[in-house]
Amino acid sequence: MIDIFEEVTRSGARLGAALDTLTDTDVRAAARVSGWTRGHVLTHLTGSVDAYLWLLAVARTGVEPGPRTGGEALDGTDRSAAELAADLRGRLARLAEAAASMPTDAWDTLVTALAGWRHPAWYTLYRCWRELEHHHVDLDIGYRPANWPRTYVTWALDDTLAALAARDFPISRVEAPDLDRSWSLAPTGPVVTGPGHALLGWLSGRATDAELGSDAAFASDAAFATGRPLPAPPRWPLPPAPGWD
């Protein structure tokens, strides 16, 4: 079983250590997200942690703690690298404190994501883990899908592929031999095979050049050799399936 508290702590520590190497010029450079600088990514990530703090407060108290904030790309281009890193560290420390103080029965309280779908409060920590791992890649500072922890890749594929299966994504099966895992999705469609991190990179839009195999054989231009286009994954992440409403 995943110790989500430890995983989020380790993920935040990895990112924090990387941020210590950035200069003010570095945070104004382009990120891997179109139109965003690294400062935008860090500000978005800090805003996302704020949103998780808000949701945990609702689960803990039953009361909304003031106006709701989200993870929108606020302007982070005029702030120093040290300020951006300190803000994120501060929010993550508050999240750890909030999680530690949560009553056990409050973790199953349903809360509502900004996008409108509901989930138990405990899933908030998994959402934070996902944000930390993927936005670390988006910063384009040397962290790649291949660096994702095996534990994270396995959980994220379980979560993502269950959501895609519920939406009839036209892939019959996905296989990750390195994880000794496979997932069935649709009655028909190709079988896609590859390392877990490459599969997750493809599904999440972080590795459009992922080296994947298929019983239909992928062409280098991300199309099947038979001429059928590779199904484009929907915007990621998806609400988990089945939902908890």
Whole-angstrom distance, CA of residue 183 vs CA of residue 191: 10
Last residue of a domain, one of 98, 132, 166: 132
Residue 242: predicted pLDDT: 83
Does the residue 138 lie in any domain?
no
Task: Give the 3-state secondary structure of residue 179.
Answer: helix
Q: Is the same domain home to 127 and 162?
A: no
Q: Is the same domain home to 155 and 203?
A: yes
Q: Is the same domain home to 30 and 107?
A: yes
Whole-angstrom distance, CA of residue 239 vs CA of residue 93: 26
Say which residue the tokens 């409060």 belong to: 121
Q: Is the same domain home to 105 and 74?
A: yes
Does the residue 198 lie in any domain?
yes
Say which residue the tokens 């690294």 belong to: 38
Say which residue the tokens 């508290």 belong to: 5
3-state SS, one letter per residue, for 40-53: HHHHHHHHHHHHHH
Q: Is the same domain home to 172 and 76?
A: no
Residue 2: predicted pLDDT: 76
Q: Is the same domain home to 126 and 162?
A: no
Last residue of a domain, one of 112, 132, 152: 132
What are the respective helix, strand and coil percentages of the chain, to the nearest 5?
45, 10, 40
Q: Is the same domain home to 8 and 123?
A: yes
Q: Is the same domain home to 154 and 226?
A: yes
Residue spans of the chain under pLDDT 50: 73, 218-227
Q: What Å distances lie between residue 23 and 18, 102, 229, CA to CA?
A: 11, 37, 42
Q: Is the same domain home to 148 and 126?
A: no
Question: How many domains, the chain?
Answer: 2
Residue 228: predicted pLDDT: 52
Residue 67: predicted pLDDT: 79
Last residue of a domain, one of 132, 157, 183: 132
Say which residue the tokens 């606020």 belong to: 74
Does the residue 152 lie in any domain?
yes
Q: Is the same domain home to 116 and 164?
A: no
CATH number, domain with residue 223: 3.30.1050.20
Strand order in the sheet with 173-176: 181-184, 173-176, 191-193, 213-214
Quote the domain boundaries for residue 96.
4-132
Whole-angstrom distance, CA of residue 231 vs CA of residue 192: 11
Are 230 and 224 a contacting pair, CB within 8 Å?
yes
Q: Considering the entire predicted model, what is its pTM? A: 0.92
List residues bridging with 213 in a β-sheet.
Answer: 193
Where are any strands of DSSP class E within 98-180?
110-112, 118-120, 173-176
CATH number, domain with residue 38: 1.20.120.450
